[in-house]
Structure 1
Amino acid sequence: MKNHVFAVMACLFLAACGGGGETKVAKLEVIPLGAAFDNQTKLKTSDCFKKIRYVALETTDSCLVGQGAHATVLNDWIVVISGRDRCQLFDKKTGRFIRSIGHVGEDPEGYSNVRGGWQNPYTGKLSFPGWKNKIVVYGADGKFDHIWAPSIPAGQFPAMAAFDYLDADLIAGYYSATDSLPARIALFRGDEIVRVEALPAEQEGDGAITPDDIASISVLKDGGDGMMIIKYKDNKSAAYSLGNSCFWHAGKDLYFRQSYNDTIYQVSVVKELQPVRVLDLGVHGWPYNERFEDKKDAIYPTKFMENEDVILFRFMTNVYNDKQKTYNALYRKADGTVKVCPLDDMITDDTNSFLPLQPVSVSASGEFAAILPSEEVVAWFEDNAGKTDIPAEVAALKKVGEEDNPVVAIME
């Protein structure tokens, strides 16, 4: 576990009032998530997207997609990762298989896992977690590019680091607090450290831990990259988000949010972190100083996906107990509407009256992607055999077989 580049949202509570910050926060765009959680409703595709199209991925013996597939749009391609070791590139328009990218292995060009990395649309390069806290980079042409070792190492576990691209040249890194250092955002250009900025609040690290302190470690599905839960022998618990979900992109903008901090920041190379939005969690807030406690119905956001029209994000409640539940939340920028529904309900397709959607990613250009398993596509046509008003783009999926690769839905 120490050798993987895990991303973790640091444990920080930034008060929304008090001192000079009160005026600043009052000007931020507010997302009333707590009130929406108390008044849950269904989510429909017409709430979220202007159009939907479907791409049936080519199926041959050499390009079978594995279990747990995840799709992301990268420029003219669809990047599909599956299992622990498979990254494949498909044509975004036709679904034609193009090539596999890299491999898992401990050789000089091998990465440790396909998950927890990122794709850079400026360069067309794909970055994967490597070994010993390094990043392995491949081009979309399938060729090994280089290995990047961050010039600032992560602190001792459970202090961790997360990375994502800022532009064609810069990588942004987030470092959680340690006993001796505050949480920080750093910008890198290769081996050069461009800037390091302490996050704008006082906080303490969780402190280094040993196996003797731990009762159990588990990994949960959270609608994002997953979450690690540590149960301590003193009956306390701790949550750490995996992957790099503390960062997300919308167009050329990079956003950042920490756990237990209701403020969303924009990351920039030319100025300090800029607060842009705040989540109003109401009575469902989970302050930093209560992060080890079992908080009933407290909201723990886990993933953000944003384009020019909406923010679609995920959160969990009852993280430390057996009533854990994950939700979809939609924030519509034009009118400030916020809607919340259980993740298992998915997003009802009232656009094409087809299968419900569960977006798993959004590209910097604003294209959401969802996976539709082939067996579900086949079952839908069997259940709707007498239906005559099927849209042409849906009817084209009748060719999909039960053992074919999945269909990728792309939504804008």
Structure 2
Amino acid sequence: MKKIVFIALTVISCACSNIKQEQGVEIIPLGLAFEQPEEISVKDVGSHIDYVPLETTDESLIGDRAYIRILKDKLLVGSREQPVKMFDRKTGKFIRCVGKIGQGADEYLLQDGFPVFWTDDVSGIIYVQTEGQRILRFDADGSPLESIHLPEGLPRLQGLSVVGNGDDLYFYQKTLFKKNEDKIFSYNIPTGKLHTEIANQEDTIPFELTKTPIILGGYGNNPASPHCLILYLKNDKVVFDYAKEPCLWAFDDQIYLKENFNDTLYCVSDQSLEPRYVFDLGSRHWSYEERYHPEGNEDKIAFNYVLEGDKVLFFVFQTNYYEINYKGLGKDETYWGIYDKENGQVKVMAKGKIGDPENGLFVKSFQTATAEGELAGLLDIAEVKEWIEENPSKKDNQVRQLLSDLPDESNPVAVIVK
């Protein structure tokens, strides 16, 4: 298991570009690209794209707020009030439900009506979170394995973000109210040992709440979180604190960390938490001390998540972070961005559709990435058909024809770029 030393949060949060350059860390000039937006195409993201319509049957029907994972030759989709569904990666044919909703040995409870699951490319395991501190395990074919009962010492599982890498699970806990809280834990499955890896040793930044926080199911740019906590600040500003954030990920047998208000992407190494990339945000950098001060920070950048592809980093970020557009109110703006790891090119575009000129189609966004660097998302078939009608070019394209022939009530289409 990879062992990490204790590091103070002052080191984690500073993101000082001069120091990082001296350490040989790559700089991503996002602030400059933000001022010169460009359209992003599929060819910017990868060299090949697959559209896989997911079979629609009574048993395989996918509900609202669907999100996708990939595990080897399988596609797995979670959605509201539904168990995790497994499909063939190439054909989209429905294979089975992974476990069942319930309280039995191989059954799991939904969180806010939503299944919380993740996959591990190294071990080939599907993990599904259920009640208490129990995690169910299934093999790559969806057959149940022995479940995990996490030991005492780990914070409440429902509020942690989790990623797997071989024999280890890594947990991230965001600090809001307390100081000296542990931030990252790891759990070794064969030995059953829990390790506190990185501790937060800096005072928590105070902020003043004007109302009692409430829980809202889902919402926002994070597709995998079952709910968020709404914190009301001064001047009617609000914070959406997600129960789970995709801030940890595995790529090429390594674990990485990227926090919302931090400009630095870290590699979780054997000896330390090592800076790997730094987003140079220019005047849009949001200092650690100012993160709960809405006034004067309207144009600052806060990240929603980063996905790592084989060719690029794909990231989602916001401005006007505290003017969240909830129920038609607010002024927040969401953007897609990519960083080409080979040539250093950065592109930014307002939230919309990533073009696929070759097929005359589009990608709405990406929800997940594999450890091999494949990016994937889902497209609503009704939206695809509307797009085809409004953009009649490429009429003879086989993919377009296949999607246009699907019934409006069909399951989503999986989109995979590699």
TM superposition score category, shorter chain reference: 0.7 to 0.9
Q: How does 1:156-305 map to 2 (within 5 A)?
A: 160-166=159-165, 168-177=166-175, 179=178, 181-190=180-189, 192-193=192-193, 195-198=195-198, 202-205=201-204, 214=212, 216=214, 218=216, 220-225=219-224, 228-232=229-233, 238-268=239-269, 270-294=270-294, 295-305=297-307
Residues 178-232 of structure 1, C-alpha deviation per residue, up to 9 Å, x if partnerless? 6352443222113643643335x752236899x9962555564125445543115
Q: In the alignment, residue 331 of structure 1 is paired with which amino acid?
A: Y
Deviation at 1:111, TM superposition (A): 2.9
Which residue in 2 is equivalent to 1:3?
none
Contact 1:101 1:140 in 2 (8 A): no
Counterparts of 1:25 and 1:154 in 2: how far apart (Å)? 37
Which of 307, 327, 334 lines up with 2:335 in the alignment?
327
Alpha-carbon distance change, 34 to 324 in structure 1, aligned in 2, over 3 angstroms: same
Counterparts of 1:379 and 1:371 in 2: how far apart (Å)? 16
Alpha-carbon distance change, 11 to 241 in structure 1, aligned in 2, over 3 angstroms: farther
SS at match of 2:403: helix
Identity %: 27
Deviation at 1:50, TM superposition (A): 0.7
Deviation at 1:377, TM superposition (A): 3.5
Which residue in 2 is equivalent to 1:7?
none
Which residue in 2 is equivalent to 1:122?
122
Which of 328, 348, 361 lines up with 2:355 in the alignment?
348
Counterparts of 1:94 and 1:406 in 2: how far apart (Å)? 13
Q: How does 1:12-51 map to 2 (within 5 A)?
A: 14-17=13-16, 22=19, 26-51=23-48
Contact 1:224 1:245 in 2 (8 A): no
Q: In the alignment, residue 271 of structure 1 is paired with which amino acid?
A: Q
Which residue in 2 is equivalent to 1:4?
none
Which residue in 1 is equivalent to 2:403?
397
Counterparts of 1:236 and 1:388 in 2: how far apart (Å)? 46
Contact 1:28 1:278 in 2 (8 A): yes
Counterparts of 2:390 and 2:58 in 1: how far apart (Å)? 29
Moved runs in structure 1, 4+ residues, more than 4 A?
10-13, 23-26, 206-209, 215-219, 232-239, 380-385
Residues 104-132 of structure 1, C-alpha deviation per residue, up to 9 Å, x if partnerless? 33455323334543111233322223223
1:360 lines up with 2:367 in the alignment: yes
Q: How many pairs align?
A: 393
Q: In the alignment, residue 349 of structure 2 is paired with which amino acid?
A: C
Contact 2:319 2:334 in 1 (8 A): yes
Contact 1:32 1:281 in 2 (8 A): yes
Deviation at 1:249, TM superposition (A): 2.5
Mean alpha-carbon deviation: is it higher for 179-188 or for 257-266? 179-188
Counterparts of 2:88 and 2:153 in 1: how far apart (Å)? 37
Deviation at 1:354, TM superposition (A): 1.8
Unaligned stretches of 5+ residues in structure 2 = 1-8, 324-329
Counterparts of 1:333 and 1:187 in 2: how far apart (Å)? 28
Which residue in 2 is equivalent to 1:318?
320
Counterparts of 2:124 and 2:15 in 1: how far apart (Å)? 39
Counterparts of 2:12 and 2:298 in 1: how far apart (Å)? 18
Counterparts of 1:48 and 1:74 in 2: how far apart (Å)? 20
Contact 1:246 1:256 in 2 (8 A): yes
Contact 1:256 1:266 in 2 (8 A): yes
Cα RMSD (Å): 3.3
Q: In the alignment, residue 391 of structure 1 is paired with which amino acid?
A: N
Which residue in 2 is equivalent to 1:409?
415
Deviation at 1:283, TM superposition (A): 1.3
SS at match of 1:87: strand
Mean alpha-carbon deviation: is it higher for 284-293 or for 114-123? 114-123
Contact 1:260 1:291 in 2 (8 A): yes
Alpha-carbon distance change, 151 to 324 in structure 1, aligned in 2, over 3 angstroms: same
Alpha-carbon distance change, 175 to 398 in structure 1, aligned in 2, over 3 angstroms: closer
Alpha-carbon distance change, 396 to 101 in structure 1, aligned in 2, over 3 angstroms: same
SS at match of 1:397: helix
